[in-house]
């Protein structure tokens, strides 16, 4: 029986397409729009602070403010990199803090309403940033406040879309499916760069307003078409769970005690917490993601400016070139998902890619600008190696852990596990651009040394899980009794 909780578009979906494919497509579009609306700030940075001595001032503009005719105050000062870091971190710190609460809201509110409201508010704050151009606002406080609010409302996205996909798709080939699906991150970055690049040199405000309108439209689409769970339309839910005997080295009595504890926690409305997080690697994957996301988001926010400074490209050209990093990220996410599905080693796949990424980042910094061909090749390769582990952890790993058998079918747990992992990762997302802003005045080499160190630390944090996966492949893992 159809309930009033179902979206109006439910009837169209039932007539024209399969539910699972429509959910995959819709959530892909939704999170593409989230990343699309985050990207313009990295493209516009090169326009907010330019090398005005090389810019020919149009004689017919009749500009009376000599301080801001080329740059945009307050970013026309020598400390512009620090100010850009403040903008980045206003968004990212708010995002990191909000993510730890977002999972709890996602558990208790209908995901369709939660996502729709989040996208509508994201559209509002993204557009407000761009309107600062037309309203001639030169207050750092205004732009920082908009970034804080946008960071908070954008936390609605990730736990909700992962929970929706996890509700509809089981464990089989989850790494590949989510690797393809997770390309929404890179697709959003690419589209955000291209859209912002169209307007950046003429009217940079439109670089924000257009993405704001797009995410607003997807919020309306979500409200009318998203079906949260198979049970809502009388479909059979997928098989999620993983056997204790193949993955958890616990005695029968330990499992019984854990289930009894979980039973009491669930009766109290709580998440099956600390013991599950420790035994299943939630802590390791969360901390690994912190450093992996530190690297990824540093590139997200600073790569166009790096290309502009080092290769001396214009803002639009640098933005277009930076999209190659995201193209590589699409391929890297799919490859990571396929390999981890085939081997059953999520942690090992991440670890190997992180190990290879470290020397590739070193090479990109030293030879990446020697020729156009080398630049393209290195951006694609580094993008795949950096974003592959990040994509795998935030999708397939989060869904595996959130739908584990030890959670005993608690549908709310997936949103919480996703928020814990991505919330911890978001601390790194905030830290990376901040460090880049502080370090870049001392030279870009030091920024890359920081990124390489983060990749190595991310790899080391997975060593226990890699060891357990290697043991399992060698048949050395003891079986649980009972």
Alpha carbons 351 and 355: distance in angstroms, whole number: 6
Q: Which is more confidently placed, 388 or 3? A: 388
Any domain includes 377: yes
Domain interval for residue 207: 10-51+78-229+242-473
Any domain includes 481: no
Stretch 238-258: mean pLDDT, rounded? 41
Any domain includes 237: no
Query: Band of the pLDDT at 8, cuts 50, 70, 90?
Result: low
Q: Are 398 and 162 in contact (CB under 8 A)?
A: yes
97-122 burial, b if ≥16 CB within 10 A, otherwise e? bbbbebbebbbeeebbebbbbbbbbb
Residue with tokens 């005690």: 257
Residue 291, both tokens: 């450093």
Inform me whether the pLDDT recorded for 307 exceeds 70: yes
333-360 tens-digit pLDDT: 889 988 988 888 889 999 999 999 999 9
Q: Which of 456, 330, 342, 454 is nearest to 395 (CA)?
A: 330
Any domain includes 94: yes
Stretch 268-279: mean pLDDT, rounded? 47
Give the gyration radius of the chain's Cα atoms.
Answer: 23
Inform me whether the pLDDT recorded for 264 exceeds 50: no
Any domain includes 118: yes
Alpha carbons 420 and 427: distance in angstroms, whole number: 11
The DSSP secondary-structure symbol of 239 reads P
Total of domains in the chain: 1
Query: Band of the pLDDT at 265, cuts 50, 70, 90?
Result: very low
Any domain includes 73: no
Inform me whether the pLDDT recorded for 64 exceeds 70: no
Any domain includes 387: yes
Alpha carbons 472 and 462: distance in angstroms, whole number: 15
Any domain includes 390: yes
Q: What percent of the chain has pLDDT over 70?
A: 77
Query: Band of the pLDDT at 127, cuts 50, 70, 90?
Result: very high
Q: What is the CATH number of the domain that holds 136?
A: 1.20.1250.20
């Amino acid at each position: 029986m159809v309930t009033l909780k179902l979206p109006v578009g439910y009837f169209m979906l039932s007539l024209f397409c399969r539910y699972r494919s429509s959910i995959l497509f819709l959530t892909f579009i939704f999170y593409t729009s989230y990343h699309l609306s985050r990207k313009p700030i990295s493209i516009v940075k090169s326009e907010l602070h330019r090398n005005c001595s090389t810019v020919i001032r149009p004689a017919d503009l009749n500009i009376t403010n000599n301080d801001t005719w080329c740059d945009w105050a307050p970013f026309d000062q020598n400390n512009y990199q620090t100010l850009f870091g403040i903008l980045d971190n206003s968004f990212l710190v708010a995002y990191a803090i909000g993510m730890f609460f977002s999972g709890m809201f996602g558990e208790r509110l209908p995901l369709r309403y939660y996502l729709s409201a989040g996208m509508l508010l994201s559209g509002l704050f993204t557009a407000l940033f761009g309107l600062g151009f037309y309203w001639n606002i030169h207050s750092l406080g205004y732009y920082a406040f908009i970034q804080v609010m946008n960071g908070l409302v954008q936390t609605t996205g990730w736990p909700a879309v992962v929970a929706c996909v996890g509700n509809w798709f089981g464990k089989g080939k989850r790494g590949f499916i989510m690797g393809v699906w997770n390309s929404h991150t890179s697709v959003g970055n690419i589209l955000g760069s291209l859209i912002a690049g169209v307007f950046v040199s003429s009217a940079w405000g439109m670089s924000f307003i257009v993405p704001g309108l797009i995410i607003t439209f997807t919020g309306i689409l979500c409200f009318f078409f998203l079906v949260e769970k198979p049970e809502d339309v009388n479909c059979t839910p997928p098989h999620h769970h993983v056997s204790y005997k193949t993955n958890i080295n616990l005695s029968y009595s330990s499992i019984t005690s854990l289930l009894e504890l979980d039973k009491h926690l669930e009766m109290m409305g709580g998440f099956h917490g600390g013991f599950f997080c420790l035994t299943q690697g939630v802590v390791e994957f969360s901390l690994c993601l912190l450093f992996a996301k530190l690297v990824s988001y540093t590139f997200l926010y600073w790569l166009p400016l790096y290309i502009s400074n080092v290769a001396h490209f214009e803002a639009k050209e640098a933005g277009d070139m930076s999209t190659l990093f995201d193209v590589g990220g699409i391929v890297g996410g799919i490859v990571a998902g396929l390999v981890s599905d085939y081997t059953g080693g999520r942690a090992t796949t991440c670890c190997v890619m992180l190990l290879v990424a470290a020397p590739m980042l070193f090479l990109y910094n030293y030879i990446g600008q020697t020729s156009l061909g080398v630049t393209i090749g290195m951006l694609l390769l580094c993008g795949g190696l950096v974003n592959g582990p990040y994509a795998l952890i935030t999708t397939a790993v989060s869904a595996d852990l959130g739908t584990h058998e030890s959670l005993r079918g608690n549908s709310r747990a997936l949103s919480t596990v996703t928020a814990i992992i991505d919330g911890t990762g978001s601390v790194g997302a905030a830290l990376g651009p901040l460090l880049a802003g502080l370090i870049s005045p001392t030279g870009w080499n030091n920024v890359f040394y920081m990124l390489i160190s983060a990749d190595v630390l991310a790899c080391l944090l997975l060593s226990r899980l890699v060891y357990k996966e290697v043991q399992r492949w060698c048949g050395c893992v003891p079986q649980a009794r009972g």
